[in-house]
Amino acid sequence: MTRTRPALPMILAALMLAAGTAVAQDATPAAPAAADNITAVREENGRYYTADDIPTFKVAEDGTIDWMTYSGFRRYHSECHVCHGPEGEGSSYAPALKKSAIAMDYYDFVNVVTNGRKKVNASENSVMPAFGQNVNVMCYLDDIYTYLKARGADAVPRGRPGKKEAKSDAIRDAENDCLGR
């Protein structure tokens, strides 16, 4: 089933409301989908999407990456790497995320980041805090997702990306709207 992707402000409003709900207890990663969840088939105002209308990355032959993936690198390293390690590689504290962005359903990824996740049993004790009210995460969630997806697909090497597309006016406007500027 293909899900239609709602506009950014609607997603953020729903996610902010969801942040007040209980922590998701068992949002386990889904098996990789049969459909290609990596390849960009369309571009809309500097954002790239798969055939299933899921955000994805675009890397040109000369190594230039799309703005969203570049922004995701920056946002990941300001909000996520402390626990999950640099470049999505994982740490002794929290798991690697670069493969999760490929294996996990996009909507499950959004749910876990928004609402958090707690797994406590005889073999593990892990807690992912909820970030649903953190605008520094929520306003850039697709950016973080596409960056991790690009890392998981080995399309973007470790380190700061060297070349990036320009930030589109539509991305700038959406960012300002989300941040209340």
Question: pLDDT per residue over 148-180, tens digit each?
Answer: 999 888 878 787 888 998 999 999 999 999 998
**Whole-angstrom distance, CA of residue 6 vs CA of residue 12:** 10
Higher per-residue confidence, 127 vs 174:
174
Residue 124 identity: E
Q: How far is CA 90 from the centre of its chain?
A: 15
Number of domains into which the chain is organized:
1
Strands (E), 84-167: 117-120, 125-128
Q: Which percentage of the chain shows pLDDT scores above 70?
A: 77
The structure tokens listed for 17 are: 């409301």
Domain assignment of residue 138, yes or no:
yes
Helices 67-79 and 141-152: angle between axes, nearest 10 degrees? 100
Domain assignment of residue 2, yes or no:
no
Strands (E), 8-142: 42-44, 47-49, 55-56, 117-120, 125-128
Q: How far is CA 32 from the centre of its chain?
A: 16
Domain that holds residue 38: 8-179
Mean pLDDT check: name the lowest of 57-71, 76-90, 145-159.
Answer: 76-90
pLDDT for 89: 67
Domain assignment of residue 85, yes or no:
yes
Mean pLDDT along residues 7-20: 46
Nearest to 28 by CA among 133, 131, 118: 118
pLDDT for 29: 46
Domain assignment of residue 1, yes or no:
no
Computed over every residue of the chain, the mean pLDDT equals 79
Domain assignment of residue 12, yes or no:
yes
pTM of the model: 0.76
Strands (E), the chain: 42-44, 47-49, 55-56, 117-120, 125-128
Nearest to 145 by CA among 121, 119, 167, 113: 113
Mean pLDDT along residues 138-152: 92
Mean pLDDT along residues 81-96: 72
CB 66, CB 48: distance < 8 Å? yes
CB 163, CB 82: distance < 8 Å? no
pLDDT band at 96, cuts 50/70/90?
low
Percent helix, percent strand, percent coil in the chain, to nearest 5: 40, 10, 50
H/E element holding 169?
helix 169-179
